[in-house]
Amino acid sequence: MNESIEVTGLRKRFGPVLALDGMTFAVPPGQVTGFVGPNGSGKSTTMRVILGLDAPDEGHALVGGRPYASLTRPLTRLGSLLDAGALQPGRTARNHLLWLARSQGLSARRVDELIGQAGLELAARRRAGGYSLGMRQRLGIAAAMLADPPAVMFDEPVNGMDPEGIVWVRGFLRSLAAEGRAVLVSSHLMSELEDTADHLVIVGRGRVIADTSTAELLAKASGGRVVVRTTAADRAAAVLTGDGGTVAPAGPGALTVSGLPAARVLTVLSGNGVPVSEVAAHRASLEEAYLELTASSVEYRAAGEMAREVAR
Amino acid sequence: MTAGTTARQWPAPAPAAAEHGGFWRAVLAEWTKFRSVRGLVIGTVVAALAMLLVGLFAAGSARFTCPGGPGFPTKTGAACLPRIPRGPGGQAVTDSFYFVHQPLAANGSITAAVTSLTGVHAAGNGQTGAGPGGAGPLAGMTKGIVGWAKAGIIIKTSTSQGTAYAAMMATGGHGVRMQYDFTQDIAGLAGQVSPSAPRWLRLTRSGDTITGYDSADGSRWARVGTVRLTGLPATVQAGLFVTSPVETQTTSSFGGTTSNGGPSQATGIFGHVSLSGAAPGKAWAGANIGAGRGSPGTGVGGFHQAGGAITVTGSGDIAPVVAGPTSYFPTATIEDHLVGTFAGLIAMAVIAAMFITTEYRRGLIRLTLAATPRRGEVLAAKAVVVGAVTFAAGLAASVIAVVAGPRLSRDMGLYVLPVSLPTGLRVIAGTAALLAVAAVFALALGTVLRRSAVAVTAAIVLLVLPYILGVASVLPAGPAEWLLRVTPAAAFAIQQSVPAYHQVSGPYGPPVYFPLGPWSGFAVLCGWTALALGLATYLLRRRDA
Amino acid sequence: MSQATGLMQADASSQRHARRAGSRAALRAEASAMRDALAAEWVKLRTLPGSPWLLLAVVVTTVAVSAAASAATRCPAGVPCTADPARVCLSGIYLGQAVVAILGVLIVSGEYSTGMISVTLAALPRRTTVLTAKAVIVTGLTLAAGTVAVGGSLLAGAMILPGHGFTSAGGFPDLSLAGGTVLRAAAGSVLYLGLIGLLAVGAAAAFREAAAAIGTVLGLLYLFPVIAALAASRIWQRHLQQVGPMTAGLEIQATRNLHSLVISPWAGLGVLAAWAAGALIAGGLLLRLRDA
């Protein structure tokens, strides 16, 4: 757990707005931790505090057990991408990575290696001013990976990427976790993280609403329901109700069954000779689960966002 | 943990070749940043070129002409260069006076009482009166003694110009002085000479040590000073001298100065003249040292003896040449070729401020601080890079300007005042250091203000405007001088190669002379920069990035 | 690139269209576009947090330096004195113009640094109209602030200088606007500031980068007198002062020793106007030719 990111009791006020209100969570290694919440819920501020860019009014953030600002060669402990647009337009990608490498005592060879990894060979010697958003994201990701850190942190990494890029980023995040790194990735879109995150930290109004594994959250939202597709809906409903299930219609030729596990449903139906085309455990979307959880904070969302914009 | 079970998509870096300290890494990173933005590199080269070209243009813009003598065509350029004697210290000197002398082959002493010192000078010094009139060199001159007219006794290596000497003298307005080797001056009795208040003067020689005394009555003597003139030959020339310098009134108008004035001459009457240690039977001989075309005096000189008194008339000066428009021949200083420093300074202020403000504008500062969380180190690394780059560019430009510029000026007929090697090196390295510190100042202002336009303006206004207000005579001399003491512009004093001498009247103001000494002026800029850097570090640490 | 070309084609075709529709309609269209641009620029500048402070700074720096210079200058009777009371009591312009230059630069380059220029040009595709509107707004504000600054400086001078020997009995002009030369100095100084604002707007449009633009403007203003002071040649000294925007432009402040000016007052202001026009034309051309 030494290489993880820990955030404890962060509080920060921007003028009249409380941006962080006791934010507490940890990012374990070997997992992708999704950091989700509506715009203005304090995700970016938390990340800036982790990097020592913003000073919290209260609480602290540790990287590998130490405050970020006390790290020597910090990019070897935590790589990050907060703003892909933070580039000097006149500088080439290679030189951008080179100065970062120099700041960590790394060689120029490492830069060339990374340019290959990030697929930036063609752009490496062009000035960054002409890059597309996707190219900037790739360059930012390469910068984060420059010193091979055991922990990485990305703020909305797929923003503005094309579908191909999004798929690439998902695979990339999974592979980082598979290598044993702690991965923190923020998003305001739950669906982005559905297939990527092992663990979710859901935040609203500057504090953590839920800190749970993705599977657990989905199971809770699914509520043990089973979907049955059949040409004989009435017969199926009758036998399942007889076995103790609660049945509700779910469109033409489909039923939702609760109170019975999927295996039992299948046994009952086939035992009674009811023809079925599909029996499946209902899979709630992460979006639903998320909306359910954040319902309370949503009503403040708009107002909070506005106030934060003003405070910035 | 699944580490190691999957092939790494992102391979680990090779270990760093050498483990440098954190600050050195930050410096390397900032240097990489600087050199990888074309605008900054081109801007630096442009700054150095502008500095060089402006400096050479200012010096090379004029070709001087001078009359070639009767029957000869007018001369131009280098042919006009006057032959200026050099003093024992290597500096250009004026050494023109009327000398009534005898050889002194051994130790001995000379004594005389100055009973009268009168003179005439070019019109326009405020005094009016009936001039001698008529034609000749004295036409239109008015009666009156100028402040640094000198009459006294002197022991000098030879009658050649520029040789070592020590002298006791009464002056027109500064009492009795002991002066030696052109640059040195010791005050003696105060007050004006008159027949009722004569000034007794004595010089004694013992080997190469000369001691000067003065007295109001010829019986009670006070020692004024003892000097050692190294390498004084066995036989020296001792005697009486009178001289009177060019007196100039300088009025500065916007951007330029105009001088009015001209030569003066003085007449001194000496009594009780005695020379001990001289060869017996020798008589006084007169010599008009340094007279002739191109001399600073009227050229008039002579002496006559009557009833135990010797009356001597002379014109010129025994003093170091000071720069500026009062000089009787066109002079330049080595730093005149460095006027382009202002152009270089403006360009480097822009570059230095941009080095930080563009990071703020693009949000790049966050990445910088994530890579180097010790914020003071980031600022220090930026300062080192900007300072070093500016120093290098400034050094290249000022070496060329100070080496090539004076050659160009001499070709144009300007006499470039010689300077000692240490002074030359100080001017060159000091100019580069001035630019470097000024760039760091602009960087610090950029960090504090985060707006490049405001930061650049503040740096330029603080560094250049006081100088302009001084040069352009918008402000009267007092406040202008005060500005050049307290603002960062004081640092331009480090370029001053020719010192001001209190015993030579001259236009001791900008652009040639500065109120503070070279290093104290430079220290003022360093102080401002240290303050700005301190404030910048404090704010950078305190503010959220 | 394609967007920029599109904008320029739109510009060109609208001009063609205007020509066809007759000059009156075209004029009306131009006037309305200009009105919109002016209104937009005014709102932008008015709502920019820094601009009121900059205008205040123009007044404060000018009056403060002027008053300090007046307080420091004495011309006791009986001593020859070449000082010009109008120049002395308006010497704050030397500093005030730098603040005006900041204002002029920021109104243009501020849009480039934030990327707002694309929004502006999308709303008002006629680029020269946008630049003209900015120039008009800056000139108007600078003239207003300049009038206050010059008025305050003159007032301070009129209160201080007569006590320092600058009396009409001593041959000095009265510091009242009734005197022709003093009125010329005062009005000319206000115009001078307005022209500096225009020079800065033009330079900023040409350079886009605020630091480079302000460095160029201040270099133009401040370098000429410095180089002139150290130029070996008298002729070049004079020429440099005649073409320098500050050295020539500030001759408008002269009320004494008029025979020794390097250039006549109004011609000097004309030199500055030529610099400002040159900068605006260069900035306007580059704005049209370059991608935003």
> Which residues in chain A are closer than 8 Å to B2, comparing Cβ atoms?
30, 177-180
Please state whether C78 falls in left (phi above 0), alpha (psi between -120 and 50) or beta: left
Using the predicted structure, report yes or no on whether residue B10 has a pLDDT greater than 90. Answer: no
Nearest C-alpha in B relative to A49: B544
Report chain B's terminal Cα–Cα distance, integer Å.
Answer: 35
* Mean pLDDT in residue range A96-112: 91
CB-CB contact of B153 with B170 (8 Å): no
Using the predicted structure, report yes or no on whether residue B270 has a pLDDT greater than 80. Answer: yes
- Minimal CA separation from B470 to chain C, in Å: 10
Using the predicted structure, report yes or no on whether residue B2 has a pLDDT greater than 70. Answer: no
DSSP letter, residue B197:
B
Given this model, what pLDDT does residue A296 score? 54
B8 touches chain A (CB under 8 A): yes
Confidence label for B131 from pLDDT (cuts 50, 70 and 90) = very low
Report chain C's terminal Cα–Cα distance, integer Å.
Answer: 9
**Across the interface, which of B255, B256, B453 has its CB nearest the CB of C214?**
B453
Q: Which helix (H) or strand (E) holds A193?
A: helix A190-193
Note the pLDDT tens digit of each residue in C63-101: 999 999 888 887 776 666 777 888 888 989 999 999 999
**Across the interface, which of C109, C215, C231 has its CB nearest the CB of B349?**
C215
Angstrom distance (rounded) from CA B358 to CA B404: 37
* Mean pLDDT in residue range B98-113: 91
**pLDDT-wise least confident of A17-26, B403-412, C113-122:** C113-122
Nearest to C115 by CA among B363, A97, B41: B363
Angstrom distance (rounded) from CA C292 to CA B506: 57
Residues 411-430 of B with CB under 8 A from C: 412, 414
* Mean pLDDT in residue range B54-73: 75
**pLDDT-wise least confident of A98-102, B271-275, C4-8:** C4-8
B255 touches chain C (CB under 8 A): yes
Whether the ipTM is more than 0.95: the answer is no
Given this model, what pLDDT does residue C79 score? 66
Note the pLDDT tens digit of each residue in B174-194: 999 999 999 999 999 998 898
CB-CB contact of A179 with B9 (8 Å): yes
Using the predicted structure, report yes or no on whether residue B439 has a pLDDT greater than 90. Answer: yes
* Mean pLDDT in residue range A6-19: 91
Nearest to B324 by CA among B265, B262, B404, B259: B259
Note the pLDDT tens digit of each residue in C15-33: 555 555 567 777 787 788 7
- Minimal CA separation from C288 to chain B, in Å: 23
Given this model, what pLDDT does residue A168 score? 85
Q: What percent of chain A has pLDDT over 70?
A: 89
Given this model, what pLDDT does residue B254 score? 43
**Letter string b/e over residues C64-75, b meaning 16 or more CB atoms within 10 A of that residue's CB:** bbbbbbbbbbeb
Note the pLDDT tens digit of each residue in A146-199: 999 999 999 988 877 788 888 888 899 999 999 999 999 998 877 778 778 999
CB-CB contact of B282 with B121 (8 Å): no
Q: Is A172 helix (H, G, I), strand (E, B) or coil?
A: helix
Q: Is A9 helix (H, G, I), strand (E, B) or coil?
A: strand
Angstrom distance (rounded) from CA C195 to CA C218: 14
Using the predicted structure, report yes or no on whether residue A248 has a pLDDT greater than 90. Answer: no
Q: Supply B375's token pair.
A: 């914020």
Cβ-defined contact of B454 to C102 (cutoff 8 Å) = yes
CA distances from A141 to A115, B26, B142, B360, C207 (A): 10, 21, 87, 21, 33
Residue B335 contacts by C-beta under 8 Å, 6 or more apart in sequence? Answer: B402, B427, B431, B495, B496, B497
Q: How does strand A276-281 pair with strand A226-230?
A: antiparallel
Note the pLDDT tens digit of each residue in A15-34: 888 999 999 999 999 999 99
Q: How does strand A207-213 pair with strand A199-204?
A: antiparallel
* Mean pLDDT in residue range A276-281: 80
Write down the mean pLDDT value for chain C: 83
Q: What percent of chain B has pLDDT over 90?
A: 47
Q: Tell me which amino acid residue B280 is.
A: P
Residues A135, A137, A140, A141: is their CA dihedral positive or negative?
negative
DSSP letter, residue A87:
S
Given this model, what pLDDT does residue C292 score? 67
Confidence label for B441 from pLDDT (cuts 50, 70 and 90) = very high
Nearest C-alpha in B relative to C253: B474
Q: Contact partners of B by the rule of 3+ C-beta pairs under 8 A? A: A, C
* Mean pLDDT in residue range B352-369: 92
Note the pLDDT tens digit of each residue in B505-526: 777 777 778 889 999 999 999 9
Angstrom distance (rounded) from CA B156 to CA B233: 10
Cβ-defined contact of A179 to B10 (cutoff 8 Å) = yes
Angstrom distance (rounded) from CA C212 to CA C206: 10
* Mean pLDDT in residue range C113-119: 75
Confidence label for B294 from pLDDT (cuts 50, 70 and 90) = low
- Minimal CA separation from C258 to chain B, in Å: 12
Place of tokens 């007050």: B191
CB-CB contact of B324 with B507 (8 Å): yes
Q: What percent of chain A has pLDDT over 90?
A: 32
> Which residues in chain A are closer than 8 Å to B9, comparing Cβ atoms?
117, 172, 175-176, 179
Residues 313-372 of B with CB under 8 A from A: 358-359, 362-364, 366-372
Residues 385-414 of B with CB under 8 A from C: 409, 412, 414
**pLDDT-wise least confident of B145-149, B329-333, B522-526:** B329-333
Nearest to B344 by CA among B454, B451, B463, B445: B463
Q: Tell me which amino acid residue B426 is.
A: R
Angstrom distance (rounded) from CA B312 to CA B303: 4
Residue B134 contacts by C-beta under 8 Å, 6 or more apart in sequence? Answer: none
Residue A83 contacts by C-beta under 8 Å, 6 or more apart in sequence? Answer: A140, A155, B363, B366
Given this model, what pLDDT does residue C285 score? 92
